[in-house]
Amino acid sequence: MSPNWVKFLGNTPLSNAKNRMTARAAREIVPGMVVNLGIGLPTKVVDHLPSDFPVCLHTENGLTGIGPTLPPDQANRNLIDAGGAYVSTVPGSAFFDSATSFAMVRSGRLDLTMLGAFEVSSQGDLANWKIPGKFSPGVGGGIELAQRARRVVILTTHTDRAGNPKLKDECTLPLTARGCVSRIFTEMAVIDVTPKGFALAEIAEGVSLAEVREATGASLIVPDSTLPVF
Amino acid sequence: MSPNWVKFLGNTPLSNAKNRMTARAAREIVPGMVVNLGIGLPTKVVDHLPSDFPVCLHTENGLTGIGPTLPPDQANRNLIDAGGAYVSTVPGSAFFDSATSFAMVRSGRLDLTMLGAFEVSSQGDLANWKIPGKFSPGVGGGIELAQRARRVVILTTHTDRAGNPKLKDECTLPLTARGCVSRIFTEMAVIDVTPKGFALAEIAEGVSLAEVREATGASLIVPDSTLPVF
Amino acid sequence: MMLPDKTAQLEEVVARIGDGATIMVGGFGVPGTPMTLIQELVRQGARDLTLIKNDANEPGMGVDHLLRNGQVARLITTHLGLNTHAIGLMNNDQIKVEFNAQGILAERIRAGGAGIGAVLSDIGIGTELAEGKQVVEVDGKPHLVETALRADFALIHADRADPFGNLTYVATARNFNPLMAMAADCVIAEAETVTPLGELEADAVHTSGVFVDHVAELGEISGEYAVVQR
Amino acid sequence: MMLPDKTAQLEEVVARIGDGATIMVGGFGVPGTPMTLIQELVRQGARDLTLIKNDANEPGMGVDHLLRNGQVARLITTHLGLNTHAIGLMNNDQIKVEFNAQGILAERIRAGGAGIGAVLSDIGIGTELAEGKQVVEVDGKPHLVETALRADFALIHADRADPFGNLTYVATARNFNPLMAMAADCVIAEAETVTPLGELEADAVHTSGVFVDHVAELGEISGEYAVVQR
């Protein structure tokens, strides 16, 4: 990553935990990448990229080169992203059909995807599409993004609304894909999935190691050196 | 077929046997059809259709709506048919890739194809792509046209250059497709492939039944009624 | 030759859809959903339908009208997240829902349109979407047999069309439309504008008219096509 | 955000092609054949190549230069009918040739580009093209497993491109180019014109730049692209 982008991110106002988390996740995007951002928190990541950052945003409903989201009075009724937001184009955007869109994903042309999660296991298994008996809207494009993007990172709250850990030894919910997750960004920490399990990589400002351990449902490898703070 | 087209064909100059044969084959094309004409004799069939005949000609290298063949000085270097002829477009032509082109063929959107033949069996088997040890340029798009066009008719000389029958009980050459041929047009006759074998449908002007039988390498069902002459 | 005319009255062609039909419906959210064809199908009332559509639109929009009118027995889809009404029908067993990974649904439809029997894919292996599917090894790795989907009818929304049925789509209204326009026995397209033959550029056509059976021009574009106010 | 720039010097990107590489080459006859990239590959001299191309052009043109220069070990193709020189090399066992049905070659390449393992097709069953292929039943009917093809490099000819690698093709020069542009680890496109970002209409782009690694503008268009005088 060029120092330029780092400097920019340093100037981003980090007014709250989620903003800090999405700003940190934005540094995951390397110039030249093709990136798909899932609905919700991941979509916010793009707000932290400078206007001349060289990246191609992909949406699975058939667009490469997503531009800014537009208010209703400026929206094009035929131009949405996969989450239904009215987006725009950039110079060099291209439209295509749904088969071609997933051809990009499955054939390895997607460098990075950022997704939400219900659960992530310490082996990198992801569950994010179904809670039996409660929530089963269908998997959409999630399986292919999770299984085939070259790098899959997760943006999620560290625990669910009831305070239960989302990071666990094993997922209990139906899986989206096995062993797909490389890294997890939460409001508390940046955690890598390693062959030995979860490894703490960075910690949020004002959060203690004990708090992270408490909120994590699996053992956590902690480096001997000082943890970077984001 | 509307009487209009029949009238037109009645006015076509039938100056020689091959011209008569292609003129007769042209009557196989029903208004509204999508048609693929193989290299050689089949291509000539189109000369017998009036300029306002409603038909769509398909070529497997990626065009629906083939227009007239052009001389070199008027040709577009990027616009050929599958036989390499410099063709043109008509109002409403569309270009597409090779996968889409054969999607049309395999999914049943091709109403009719006219192909050449080395051999046709009385069960409708077709051999037209390989003579082991002598001629093996590859099958090109022939298998898919033969196997999947809704109707496959053959335009061929009745015998090969050595005078041997091309219509036989069994093909001896490598097959293009089994049981695909519905009808055969030669300079001598129009012959249908029926569940009981070859059936003479029409005979060329000046050709005798005995001559057709002699030139055919399988038994021939002949109707009791008078044979139409073309 | 000239290309055949397939312009039709929307009411007359929708009348061909009988009880029990399988129908592909284009669209991803609002863009590309053939709202007018759907409304006509609601008016005419064919029942016991199987719908194949990426999503179920939103409550009170698009295919949700068919659901509310009790015309749908089965839905093959990828995601119902924006239609709580559809999820309710599913949870109460009032409709049967089959979920596909989005890109796999696209491939299955394309396979139907391309005249191939199935595609072999490893997407979803190890998840519940793989349950009950035939497994075949390719290069020693397990793949699921994802069978081709075809329908009796496809309802397509195009931006522009010509009388032969050549179609163009705009922006993300393309999505599943070009795939479904290949994969049904009877393809019915509504177009915002039908232009004379030759006005669509041959290189810019998205769906060749060869795939399309009927094309109807929309008059006024109803409010259902407009930007959704949330 | 802005889209990354992939413009490159043709000489430098062709230099990446080493001995033993598998290379897809666009084109059906002259149209769409990347004559300039081929000439540069002849000049740089990588050997023991596997070529995947619809045909072998004509003697003294296109990939025939690679054949004459002894750079080709293996050719995966559909038809060599216009190149007697290539047929001679095949018959003398100087190159290995694998013939595919044309639409099946297109599907195998598309499958590679779509990240699926294989397609199941009944094309060629009962002919020698089926020999040695795995058979799988779908709905009780035998289908051949037609495995996906990918290549190390794809050499593509486009009419227009932009710096991100979005491509458009003209007329029948499209053919295999958009398919091959999806199916190689390194996709190199030569374009007759490279226009600034935003000049290609997003709805009219044939190949999204996401699939393309390098794009080089051609200077003068050599005589090899011209209408062939026969």
Query: Closest-CA residue in chain C for B35?
Result: C210
Instruction: Indicate the number of domains in chain C.
Output: 1
Task: Please give the pLDDT value at position C229.
Answer: 87
- Nearest C-alpha neighbor of C54 from the set C172, C145, C144, C152: C172
**Mutate which of D210, D212, D213, D215 to test chain A, going by most A C-beta atoms within 10 A?**
D210
Q: DSSP secondary-structure letter at A15?
A: -
What residues of chain B lie within 8 A of the CB of C1, using their CB? 46, 49, 51, 53-57, 67, 90
Q: Would you place residue D181 in the very low, low, confident or very high pLDDT band (cuts 50, 70, 90)? A: very high
- Note whether residue C229 is domain-resident: no
User: Nearest CA to CA, how far is D118 from chain C (Å)?
Assistant: 5
Instruction: Indicate the number of domains in chain A.
Output: 1
Do the two chains D and B touch, given a threshold of 8 Å on CB pairs and at least 3 pairs? yes
- Note whether residue A226 is domain-resident: no
Instruction: Pick A86 or A12 by higher pLDDT.
Output: A86
Q: What is the pLDDT of residues D45-83, one digit of tens each?
A: 999 999 999 999 999 999 999 999 999 999 999 999 999
Distance CA C104, CA C122 (A): 10
- A60 counts as catalytic: yes
Task: Please give the pLDDT value at position D66.
Answer: 98
- How much is the average pLDDT of C148-152? 98
- How much is the average pLDDT of A106-131? 97
What residues of chain C lie within 8 A of the CB of D202, using their CB? 171
Distance CA A106, CA D182 (A): 11
Task: Please give the pLDDT value at position B13.
Answer: 39
Greatest Cα pair distance, chain C, in angstroms, is 56
- How much is the average pLDDT of C44-57? 98
Q: What is the pLDDT of residues B32-83, one digit of tens each?
A: 999 999 988 899 999 999 989 999 999 999 999 999 999 999 999 999 999 9
Task: Please give the pLDDT value at position A136.
Answer: 87
User: Percent of chain D at pLDDT above 70?
Assistant: 100
**Mutate which of D107, D120, D125 to test chain C, going by most C C-beta atoms within 10 A?**
D120
User: Nearest CA to CA, how far is C1 from chain A (Å)?
Assistant: 32
Chain D touched by A26 (CB under 8 Å): no
Question: What φ, ψ does residue B10 adopt, rounded to 5°?
Answer: -60, -25
Report the first-to-last Cα separation within chain B, whole angstroms: 17
Distance CA B191, CA B207 (A): 14
- Note whether residue A229 is domain-resident: no
- How much is the average pLDDT of A140-169? 96
- Give the angle B134-B151-D138 at the CA atoms, nearest 5°: 85
D87-94, long-range: CB within 8 Å, 24+ apart, which pairs?
D87/B136, D87/B137, D90/B136
Q: Which of the following is catalytic: A60, A119, A144, A187? A: A60
- Note whether residue C128 is domain-resident: no
Q: Is residue B190 within 8 Å of B28, Cβ to Cβ?
A: no
Burial of A228 per CB tally in 10 Å (0-12, 13-18, 19+): exposed
User: Nearest CA to CA, how far is C91 from chain B (Å)?
Assistant: 36
A211-214, long-range: CB within 8 Å, 24+ apart, which pairs?
A212/A158, A212/A188
Amino acid code (one letter) for D173: A
- How much is the average pLDDT of B107-112? 98
Asked if residue D225 has pLDDT above 70, the reply is yes
User: Percent of chain C at pLDDT above 70?
Assistant: 100
Task: Please give the pLDDT value at position A222.
Answer: 96
Q: Would you place residue A14 in the very low, low, confident or very high pLDDT band (cuts 50, 70, 90)? A: very low
User: Nearest CA to CA, how far is C227 from chain B (Å)?
Assistant: 31
- Note whether residue D199 is domain-resident: yes
- How much is the average pLDDT of B88-106? 98
What residues of chain A lie within 8 A of the CB of C122, using their CB? 147
- Note whether residue B153 is domain-resident: yes
What residues of chain C lie within 8 A of the CB of D118, using their CB? 119-120, 136, 138, 143
- Note whether residue C163 is domain-resident: yes
- Note whether residue A160 is domain-resident: yes
For chain A, positions 53-92, list CB contacts with chain D under 8 A.
53-58, 63-65, 67, 89-92
Instruction: Pick A79 or A14 by higher pLDDT.
Output: A79
Point out the residue among D128, D170, D174 whose CB comes nearest to the CB of B97: D174
Full DSSP string of D156-179: EEEEEE-TT--EE--GGG-TTHHH
Domain that holds residue B188: 3-221
Domain that holds residue D213: 10-106+149-219
Asked if residue A69 has pLDDT above 90, the reply is yes
- How much is the average pLDDT of A102-131? 97
Question: Are the Cβ atoms of D210 and A64 closer than 8 angstroms?
Answer: yes
Task: Please give the pLDDT value at position B15.
Answer: 54
Q: Is residue D74 within 8 Å of D56, Cβ to Cβ?
A: no
Point out the residue among C134, C136, C171 whose CB comes nearest to the CB of D203: C171
Chain D touched by A100 (CB under 8 Å): yes
- Note whether residue C5 is domain-resident: no
Question: Are the Cβ atoms of A101 and C106 closer than 8 angstroms?
Answer: yes
Chain A touched by C130 (CB under 8 Å): no
The token duo for B188 is: 């001598």
- How much is the average pLDDT of B8-34? 78
Question: Are the Cβ atoms of D3 and A90 closer than 8 angstroms?
Answer: yes
Point out the residue among B89, B102, B109 whose CB comes nearest to the CB of C210: B109
Q: What is the pLDDT of residues C159-196, one digit of tens each?
A: 999 999 999 999 999 999 999 999 999 999 999 999 99
Q: DSSP secondary-structure letter at B48?
A: G
- Nearest C-alpha neighbor of C176 from the set A98, D205, A60: A98
Mean residue pLDDT across chain B: 92
Q: Is residue B86 within 8 Å of B92, Cβ to Cβ?
A: no
- How much is the average pLDDT of D82-100? 97
Q: What is the pLDDT of residues B179-202, one digit of tens each?
A: 999 999 999 999 999 999 999 999
Point out the residue among B105, B140, B174 whose CB comes nearest to the CB of D127: B174
Mean residue pLDDT across chain A: 92
Task: Please give the pLDDT value at position B169.
Answer: 98
Query: What is the CATH classification number for the domain harbouring C34?
Result: 3.40.1080.10
Query: What is the CATH classification number for the domain harbouring B159?
Result: 3.40.1080.10
Task: Please give the pLDDT value at position B7.
Answer: 32
- Note whether residue D198 is domain-resident: yes
Asked if residue C140 has pLDDT above 50, the reply is yes
B201-204, long-range: CB within 8 Å, 24+ apart, which pairs?
B201/B227, B201/B228, B202/B24, B202/B227, B202/B228, B202/B229, B202/B230, B203/B227, B203/B228, B203/B229, B203/B230, B204/B17, B204/B20, B204/B21, B204/B229, B204/B230
- Note whether residue D129 is domain-resident: no
Mean residue pLDDT across chain C: 97
- How much is the average pLDDT of A142-146? 97
What residues of chain C lie within 8 A of the CB of B99, using their CB? 114
What residues of chain A lie within 8 A of the CB of C178, using their CB? 97
- Nearest C-alpha neighbor of C81 from the set C90, C73, C72: C90
- How much is the average pLDDT of C121-142? 95
User: ipTM, 2 decimals?
Assistant: 0.96
- How much is the average pLDDT of D177-205? 98
Task: Please give the pLDDT value at position B165.
Answer: 97
Do the two chains B and C touch, given a threshold of 8 Å on CB pairs and at least 3 pairs? yes
Q: Which of the following is catalytic: B60, B119, B144, B187? A: B60
- How much is the average pLDDT of A66-86? 96
Task: Please give the pLDDT value at position B12.
Answer: 41
Question: Are the Cβ atoms of D4 and A94 closer than 8 angstroms?
Answer: no
- 């939460």: which residue's tokens? A186
User: Percent of chain D at pLDDT above 90?
Assistant: 98
Asked if residue C55 has pLDDT above 80, the reply is yes
Query: Closest-CA residue in chain A for C207?
Result: A97
Question: Are the Cβ atoms of D117 and C141 closer than 8 angstroms?
Answer: yes
Task: Please give the pLDDT value at position A15.
Answer: 54
User: Nearest CA to CA, how far is C124 from chain D (Å)?
Assistant: 12
- How much is the average pLDDT of A175-183? 97
